[in-house]
Amino acid sequence: MGAAIRVLPNRATKAVSLLRTIQYTHPPSCPCHSNPNHHHHHKHASPAPAVSRFAQRVSQPRGYTSSQDPSQLKEYAFEMAASAIRFGPGATQEVGMDLSNMHAKRVAVVTDSTVDKLPAMQQVREALTREGISFQVYNKTKVEPKDYSIREAIAWTLPYKPDAFLAVGGGSVIDTAKLMNLYSCYPEADFMDFVNAPLGKGRPIDRKLKPLIAIPTTAGTGSETTGTAIFDLASHKAKTGIAHRNLKPTLGICDPLNTKSMPSAVKAASGLDVLCHSLESWTAIPFNERTPRPTNPILRPAYQGANPISDIFSLNALRSTVKYLPRAVHDPEDTEAQTEMLLAATLAGVGFGNAGVHLCHGMSYPISGLNPAGYKHKGYDIDEPIIPHGVSVAVTAPAVFRFTAASNPDRHLQAAEAFGVDISNVKRESAGEVLAEALVKFLESLGDQPRGLKELGIGRGDIEALVEGTIPQARVLMLAPGLDKELQGERDQLRGLFEDALEY
C-alpha cells in the first residue's frame, strides 16, 4: 500500500459520525424507510398485490388537479436515510472481513474492465481470498450504462446466485450492481416493472435485497449512499432509472487511495456531478411545499425537497467542491484535495439522496442520451461517443440557477457566497445572475469544459427533442422551484432554458 493520506480529523470524523447516526436511527429494514418511490405527475400501473394496500391514493396528471383533491395536501414531515459509511485511506482491505461478518459465502464482485486492472481490485481480491470467501468477478459494466448492458449483467447474475454483492468502481458500476441485486431477488420480474414511471411501471420494492457493499473509485455520484440507479433507456434515447430506499448499499467504503488513479477529465466530470448535486438539493423546493402528503409513511419518497438535515450536507459539500475540485483536477499529487473531494461526494450523496435534485439533472438525461453529434469528451479513453454525466448536468447550470433564483433569492445568494462572491451589496433580484456568473467562472477554471450545448454538437433544431426527453423526468422536475405545473407552461419554460444553455 502506498503512503497513507492524512484525512483532516474534524471534518471526516464529524461527517462519518453523523452518517452513522442517520444509518443506525433509520436502518434499511425500518418499514417507514422501505417505501417505494412516488411519482406525483403521472398515474402508476397497478402495483404488486403485496403492496397494493399501501398504494391506494389519488394520482393525477399535471394540469388536472383541483383544490379539493387530497393529493394536493402539502407535506408536513421529512425523513433521513443513508447507507452506513466507512471513510479512510486503506479501508478497502477490510472488505473481506465485512463480507465474512455478513456470513457471505458466494459474492458477485462487480467492476469494469479498467478498474479491474487497478490496485483497488487487487486489494479486493486479496481481502476476499484471505477470508476464504468464494467470489466471481463481473467486469463488463459500461460507463454510462444502457438498459441492455444492465440486462446483460443481470443475465450473468441469475445462474451464479450470489448471496452478496460487492461493487468496485464509479457510479455506473455501483448502479449496475444495485440492479443486479434487485433483479436477482425478483427473477420473475420484467425489467420495466421497477423503472421510474411514466417510462416504466414504477413498481415498489417489497422484498429484502441481498447485502451490497460499494467501494467508489471516483469522487462524484455519491451512489454509495443512495437508493438510486441511473441508466440510458436506449429505445427512448433518454436516461431514466430506478429509485427506492431499499436499493441503498448496506455499506459504502470510501477509500481515498482508490481515487488517485482517476484521469483529470474524470475528476472534473465527477466533481461537477457533486457540484450540481449540492446546488440542486440546496435550492430544491422545501419539503413542506411538496405534494401530495403521503397517506401512509411508506409512500414518502426518497426525494423529499430541501430540509434542515439535507441542507447541512449539501451546503458543506458545495463549499468543499468549490475549494478542492480545481486543485484535484490540476494537481494529481494533491492528496488533500482528492480526499476532500471523495468526502464531498459522499456528503452530497446524503444531501441529494434525501432532498433530491431538479432541473440540471432532469435536463441532463436527454442531453447525454441523445448526443446527436456523437460527442466524445476529451480525456475519456473509451471507443464510444460519450457526454459524461457530470458534463451534461453542469452545462445547463448557469441557465438553470438564473431561472430558479426568483423562488428563493437568499439561498441562491448563499450559494454564490460559497463560490467566493461578496454578496454584501448584491440585490436579491440579482441573485440568479450573480450565481450564474460564478458558475461560469468556476467551469472555466477547470478547463476543457463546453461553454454551452453548442460545443456538445447540440443546436436549436435539437431543442424540441430535449424538451420531450425531459418531460418524463417527473421524479426530479416536481422538486424544481418555479417550474409551471401545467404541462404546456412547463414545455415553454424548458424550451427557454435549453435555448439559454446553448452558449455562455
Neighbouring C-alpha atoms within 13 Å toward the C-beta of 429: 0
pLDDT bracket for residue 400 (50, 70, 90)? very high
Residue labelled with grid coordinates 449496475: 176
pLDDT bracket for residue 18 (50, 70, 90)? low
Average pLDDT over residues 228-252: 88
Average pLDDT over the chain, rounded to an integer: 88
For 264-500, the fitting CATH number among 3.30.365.10, 1.20.1090.10, 3.40.50.300, 2.40.50.140 is 1.20.1090.10
How far from 368 is each of 238, 240, 373, 374, 469, CA to CA, in Å? 8, 11, 11, 10, 11
Cell numbers given for 233: 433507456
pLDDT of res. 55: 39
First to last CA, the chain: 45
Cell numbers given for 34: 422501505
Task: Please give the full DSSP string across 60-99, using - where no structure is assigned.
Answer: --TT---TT-GGGPPP--------EEEE-TTGGGGHHHHH
Q: Which residues of 228-258 are buried (b: 16+ CB within 10 A; e: fewer)?
A: bbbbbbeebbbbbbbbbbbbbbbbbbbbbbb
pLDDT of res. 20: 52
pLDDT bracket for residue 293 (50, 70, 90)? very high
Average pLDDT over residues 304-322: 97
Ranking 42-51, 304-313, 410-419 by mean pLDDT, the lowest is 42-51
pLDDT of res. 236: 76
Strand partners, 109: 137, 166
Q: Which of 214, 245, 221 is nearest to 85 (CA)?
A: 214
Looking at residue 188, what DSSP letter applies?
A: T
Q: pLDDT of 409-446, one tens digit each?
A: 999 999 999 999 999 999 999 999 999 999 999 999 99
DSSP element (H, E) containing 57 = none
* Confidence (pTM): 0.85
Q: pLDDT of 446-491, one tens digit each?
A: 999 999 999 999 999 999 999 999 998 888 999 999 999 999 999 9
Radius of gyration of the chain (CA): 21
pLDDT bracket for residue 202 (50, 70, 90)? confident
Q: How far apart are CA 96 and CA 136, in angstroms?
A: 14
Question: How many C-beta atoms surround the C-beta of residue 384 within 10 A?
Answer: 12
Rounded (5°) CA angle 441-265-109: 135
pLDDT of res. 17: 55
Residue 42 confidence (pLDDT) above 60:
no
pLDDT of res. 488: 96
pLDDT bracket for residue 60 (50, 70, 90)? very low
Residue labelled with grid coordinates 457471505: 104
Ranking 22-26, 248-252, 451-455, 478-482 by mean pLDDT, the lowest is 22-26
Class of domain 17-49+80-258: alpha beta
pLDDT of res. 196: 85
Average pLDDT over residues 1-5: 43
Task: Report yes or no: 473 and 364 within 8 Å, Cβ to Cβ.
Answer: no
pLDDT of res. 9: 52
The 3-state secondary structure of 383-423 reads: CCCECCHHHHHHCCHHHHHHHHHHHCHHHHHHHHHHCCCCC
Average pLDDT over residues 159-163: 97
Sequence ranges of the domains in the chain:
17-49+80-258, 264-500
Cell numbers given for 93: 482491505
pLDDT of res. 45: 39
Residue 204 confidence (pLDDT) above 80:
yes
pLDDT of res. 299: 78
Q: How far apart are CA 289 and CA 292, in angstroms?
A: 9
Q: Who has greater pLDDT, 50 or 429?
A: 429
